[in-house]
Structure 1
């Protein structure tokens, strides 16, 4: 019957032939082979670079992984890295397919915990990317997310153990238990039984330290291959947070201290070979940070001061840091009161910072040398003694010491006493 024939045709199901099945099996085999090849990167000591290397091999070209600022995290191959990034940064599209010279390129933005990254694959033959480009990007995106998740978890565990260890050392340990703590420090790559420095840091850009500052310091230490214990710390509940750190006493740590002092006021204790002495080292680091704060308050460019190392400060700095602040302020005000004029005080500060050089003072203040001589004469009249007198000079230097240190840094008159060049 015609109606019956019509019903049969509508209900017919086309059975796949052998060629369809073979093609599907080939696609599945390709997918499994690619996934297996890329999965092997996860067990590598540097999984991100290994991933990029394996992707470049599979696409017979280049693989690049950029961070959100365009810095290359990993790259293998000869494709034009900067030209590819220029194209990526010019648009907000998640995926791009483009040609740059003889290179056929596909890119994808990937959201990770530490920001958006970009995966780019490039091949001179368009057929490769047409066949497996989508699969390579899909698999790479998943594996990159997995690697970052694993690294994030490991980082969080390290941070927790790190903070617990430095907190215990700050609280104080018995000398008899030092060997146990040296073993724990060895897990963070500290040389066993080598001297350490306690460090206190306060950010220059904000009134209180935060987790972002911790991450910044950890990143710098990692790039310098420097062992580091670090935590946020408050002296009391109302005080702004600072960063407390412990580093080996080494040339590498001094370079790190000099580098981070561009963003942080930095105070360090003297080196100590004893972990039971860490609480005392912390107090020294707090004193050093207090000195750095005083110098920074009187400097136009505090980032140029460098870190303050308590074992390298001069006698004047040491004396000023070990007296009652209120009584010191009263004595300073009494010593400087005869000057009266802020103009005379600024001229005297610059004169002392310039090594009592009239020409250098005049150049710094944009004055004629005779004007400088006139003002110095007025200073001597006000205090009733010549500046050549060692007693009057020492009193004025002590009274103006933070300002002199700050002005000295601005003038570039050598290294700040007790600090390292930033």
Structure 2
């Protein structure tokens, strides 16, 4: 096949692709034009597009084995003759397979395979550019809403929200996720989440770290306030700190929702920091926080820390007293249970509690002093024993 014919074939395949699904439409055109089956599989084994009844299982295994030495090959499976071509698609390497039946008069030439591979590579670049534009639009809308809008202007934004999959005027919530692995917050990762949310029919606004947040690597997300959206988020960010705002009805409340999610995130970070095994806390929701946890998340963190240090600093040199105080609070101020948990005699616990009262200047019989100590030690109370872990699972999980 000569060069003009290849150029003409490329233009014919690539002309007027549907912006919503360019890759699948292009594969449909290739299958129709050449009378072949088509499979496009990433080197991770993900099927990106397919046309025809190809045996995908062995093709996925083959795609996972491609390396720098693999470029093109012709193999066979049963009655299928397979033309393989390795192509670079966006940020991943993929295996393009074109298959014809041995008894079929249709024959694929190498230059035709090259033209098809070039067209699919171009479609991938086009699809990638579309996804980048969508991510940039989401980020811009989220920045506008984060600055605050008047309710009278909401009608300008809801059509855009609907284009991102949101039901019109449906309650929404803001989520902040801070992945443990920085790779989970890359642009490629966010683009994948956008595609997956569209497939699952979940409304989504997503952006990298906004100026408001103090968490490096944070991802800001707005979704409909539904159990399916929350479940999707928890599955996609299972190894991340995740916090949710309350549910809101009006877009003018986005700044308030961001503040709620961010203040809850500060509490989640403290809980993680006090966890001995680097345990990632369960997702926290601002609306379901108990009053003490809500107060800890809402208070200025620096001032809370400084006031806590003023009271608890005397225990720095006596870690066994700090452990006794934590266990005492976790055991409901019950001395026998505290003694059992610490493998001590009850009189030893009483002696330690008296020392704590003298050193810290508190009265463990005072409801106010007990409330203050609970607030100061909340992250440790949450993480350091089975009672804290049970509370995290039963009281603070988003339903």
Query: Once the 2 structures are TM-superposed, how far is the Cα of residue 257 of structure 1 from its aligned partner?
Result: 3.6
Equivalent position of 2:356 in the other structure: 383
Task: Please give the residue correspondences for 1:4-403 in structure 2 after superposition, counting only pairs within 5 Å.
Answer: 42-43=17-18, 46-52=21-27, 62-88=37-63, 89=65, 91=67, 92-100=69-77, 103-125=80-102, 131-134=107-110, 137-206=113-182, 211-212=187-188, 214-215=190-191, 217-235=193-211, 240=216, 242-300=218-276, 304-337=280-313, 339=315, 340-346=317-323, 349=326, 371=343, 379-384=352-357, 394-403=371-380
CA deviation vs aligned residue, 1:134-182 (integer Å, no higher than 9, x gap):
3552343133123223322322332332222222111122222122222
Distance 1:62 1:234, change over 3 A: closer
What is the deviation of 1:95? 0.5
Counterpart-to-counterpart distance in 1, 2:312 and 2:394: 23
**Structure 1 residues 257 and 378: alpha-carbon distance in aligned structure 2, compared to 1, 3 A threshold:** farther
RMSD: 4.4
Q: Which residue does 1:420 correspond to in 2?
A: 398
Give, in angstroms, the shift of residue 208 of structure 1.
11
Instruction: Give SS of 1:415's match.
Output: helix
- Measured in 2, the distance between the counterparts of 1:415 and 1:239 equals 24
Instruction: Say whether the 8 Å CA contact 2:18–2:25 is kept in structure 1.
Output: no
CA contact (8 A) 1:354 1:411 kept: no
SS at match of 1:132: coil
Q: SS at 2:393's partner residue? A: coil
- The Cα of 1:335 is off from its aligned counterpart by 4.3
Partner secondary structure for residue 306 of structure 1: coil
TM-score by structure 2 length? 0.77
Q: Compute the TM-score of the two structures, normalised by the length of structure 1.
A: 0.73
- How far did 1:228 drift? 1.8
User: In the TM superposition, what whole-angstrom CA distance separates every residue of 1:16-75 from its partner, at most 9, and x where no partner exists?
Assistant: xxxxxxxx99xx99x999879966994496443454456556777643211131222223
CA contact (8 A) 2:326 2:381 kept: yes
SS of equivalent residue, structure 2 residue 108: helix
Aligned equivalents of 2:279 and 2:32: distance in 1? 46
Return the offset for 1:239. Answer: 7.7
Q: Please identify, of 111-120 and 353-362, the stretch whose mean Cα deviation from structure 2 is larger.
A: 353-362
Stretches of structure 2 lacking an aligned partner (at least 5 in a row): none
**For each residue in 1:333-372, what CA deviation from the matched residue of structure 2 results, as whole angstroms up to 9, or x when unmatched?**
354456553345346646766889999999xxxxx96726
> How many angstroms does 1:100 deviate by?
4.1
Deviation at 1:409, TM superposition (A): 8.2
Contact (CA 8 Å) 1:119, 1:137: kept in 2 or not? Answer: no
Counterparts of 2:389 and 2:215 in 1: how far apart (Å)? Answer: 33
CA offsets 1:188-207 (integer angstroms, 9 cap, x no match): 22222222223333332349
Choose 1 or 2 for highest CA Rg: 1
1:397 to partner: Cα distance: 3.0
Residues 329/99 of structure 1: CA separation in 2 closer, same or farther (3 Å cut)? same
Unaligned runs of 5+ in 1: 1-23, 363-367
